[in-house]
Amino acid sequence: MKIKLVHILISSILLCGLWGCDSSKHSKILRLGHSLDTQHPVHLAMEVLGESLEEKSNGQLKLNIYPSSQLGGERECLELLQIGSLDITKVSAAVLENFIPEYKVLSLPYIFRDKTHMYNVFDNEVGKSLLLKGEKFRLRGLTFYDAGSRSFYMKDGPVNTPSDLENKKIRVQKSNMAVTMINEFGGSPTPISWGELYTALQQGVVDGAENNPPSFYTSKHYEVCKHYSINEHTSVPDVLLIGIETWSRLNAQEKEWLMEAVKESSEAQRKLWVASEKESLEKVKAEGVKIYYPDKSLFEAKTKSMEDMFNDDESVKALINDIKKTP
């Protein structure tokens, strides 16, 4: 706890005057911190966000991006947002569920029928209302970024059925839903931060992990794990958020510029994602990774009961039903 507080304090000092001004052009500067590599399609979409924001505001609003965990991991960046020491960040919905309980539903295995269904959920009233659920926690969602579907990559062999995960240590995000899912499959869930995972795989702390193709490739985890089983058990999105303190400092015109730029960024990201998924799979194959396509129904059957976790929570049950009813 002391280490975390020191990290937040140091980050706050480094970001002192975060709501900065470019005195030469009288521009307001928003700072965005995230944990991804600069080649990742989500980072590239953030660059689109910055370019669009500056163009729409005629230089009155600018975006400075700090990638690769320069300002801390996802949880640290969320905490910086809450105290007003960072303006915008991107986190996985799986991490966000620790702050905003409703986000747990997005980590349910096979909650989305396909990508079209997923986009429809994000773009309709279900998604829009979910983005605002964090306001009481000083976090306002701006948009969902496509993070594809998560699948297993392993060091010693493929995952063709859930039984292949039995007694295997699998890295998961710090998400109760992810932990429950791996337990349902018979594996041993091991929460490890993204930045520490490569070393954990190398040293055998875990036997494997699960993520989407672009993250598998840009992280270089393919150097350690040569077996990738595309079972697509979850499609947990990334969420772009702004701190309530920063949002309240924007006037109506600035908010309009920001939301227009966010929309352009989200649309660009979906196209970037499709291209990146294809390219990433081709590149890991070229590096000697074997790709497998197991029967998804075997994995879906093992996790059906996870919805029962919400039987006593009427609001979450209603949210699940709204997602299922979305065309």
The residue among 244, 262, 278 that closes a domain is 278
Q: So what's the pLDDT on residue 58?
A: 97
pLDDT band per the 50, 70, 90 thresholds, residue 261: very high
Asked whether residue 191 falls in the same domain as residue 216, the answer is: yes
Q: For 39-103, where are the alpha helices, taking DSSP H only? A: 41-56, 74-82, 93-96
Asked whether residue 309 falls in the same domain as residue 321, the answer is: yes
Asked whether residue 64 falls in the same domain as residue 82, the answer is: yes
Q: Which of 214, 217, 225 is nearest to 171 (CA)?
A: 225
Asked whether residue 37 falls in the same domain as residue 86, the answer is: yes
Asked whether residue 226 falls in the same domain as residue 261, the answer is: no
pLDDT band per the 50, 70, 90 thresholds, residue 272: very high
Q: So what's the pLDDT on residue 25?
A: 56
Q: So what's the pLDDT on residue 20?
A: 55
pLDDT tens profile 43-102: 999 999 999 999 999 999 999 999 999 999 898 999 999 999 999 999 999 999 988 999
The answer to whether residues 37 and 215 touch, using CB atoms and an 8 Å cutoff, is: no
Q: So what's the pLDDT on residue 284?
A: 98
The encoded tokens of residue 201 equal 């795989």
Share of the chain above pLDDT 70, in %: 92
Asked whether residue 143 falls in the same domain as residue 243, the answer is: yes
- Compute the average pLDDT of residues 134-155: 97
Cα dihedral angle (99, 271, 127, 75), rounded to 10 degrees? Answer: 0
Asked whether residue 309 falls in the same domain as residue 164, the answer is: yes
Domain that holds residue 183: 150-235+279-325
Q: So what's the pLDDT on residue 66?
A: 97
Asked whether residue 67 falls in the same domain as residue 8, the answer is: yes
- Compute the average pLDDT of residues 4-21: 47
Distances (CA, A) of 143 to 3, 49, 72, 123, 236: 31, 12, 21, 9, 13
Share of the chain above pLDDT 90, in %: 85
Asked whether residue 80 falls in the same domain as residue 42, the answer is: yes
pLDDT at 131 over 50: yes
The residue count for the chain: 327
DSSP single-letter state for residue 203: T
Asked whether residue 78 falls in the same domain as residue 139, the answer is: yes
pLDDT tens profile 177-194: 999 999 999 999 999 988
pLDDT band per the 50, 70, 90 thresholds, residue 22: low
pLDDT tens profile 282-303: 999 999 999 999 999 999 999 9
pLDDT band per the 50, 70, 90 thresholds, residue 18: very low
Asked whether residue 100 falls in the same domain as residue 121, the answer is: yes
Asked whether residue 207 falls in the same domain as residue 288, the answer is: yes
Q: How many domains does the chain have?
A: 2
pLDDT band per the 50, 70, 90 thresholds, residue 270: very high
CATH number of the domain that 160 lies in? 3.40.190.170
- Compute the average pLDDT of residues 139-166: 97
